[in-house]
Amino acid sequence: MIYLSVNQPLRLLRSPEAITNQKMNKGRIHPRFLRLDHPYVSAQILLQWGFPEEVVFVVAHHHGSAVCQDKIGKNVADNLNGFDLRYLGQAPPTPMAALLMIADKIEATLNGSLYGNELTSTEIEEKITLTISEVMRSLRREKQLVNSGLTFHDLEEVETAFKNELLRLHSLPRLA
């Protein structure tokens, strides 16, 4: 059986007295808050479609219980009385779930920022390197990788592998 937890912030958002006026559009939850339960909803859909439990498990935990952030790494709830909006779930309990979390967060942070901005190769390399370092630091700070089974050495290798692959995709030389 797959364990999918529900935490207080989501229950608050779904309650009738949930964040009103500026934070909601005519009583409807703002779309950027709806993404909090997408791992859970996605896992339920995958179960219904008969996907293997291992796949469903990884999808269900790909955000862990991390604070939901926007594309510039700012807590989406900064203006909600210091209240953190956290994803459903627990810290990824397997290496595969942790790797998906890392990849997803890097992609979401870089999404679109490397295209159409006429960045130089050096600027792209700096942006990729800084983003990956910040994502890894953030996940460590939030203790999202502690149950994954990945060692510090593994995480260093993961960080290097992501940098190398993204730089390769952007036609830059690989980092050592």
Residue of 90, 67, 70, 86 lying closest to 10 (CA atoms) = 86
Q: Which of 76-85, 116-125, 141-150 has the lowest mean pLDDT?
A: 76-85
In angstroms, what is the C-alpha Rg of the chain?
Answer: 18
The whole-chain average pLDDT of the chain stands at 73
The mean pLDDT of 128-157, rounded to a whole number, is 94
- Read off the pTM: 0.70
Note the pLDDT of residue 150. Answer: 95
CA pair distance 31, 99, nearest whole angstrom: 26
What is the biggest distance separating any 2 CA atoms in the chain, rounded to whole angstroms? Answer: 53
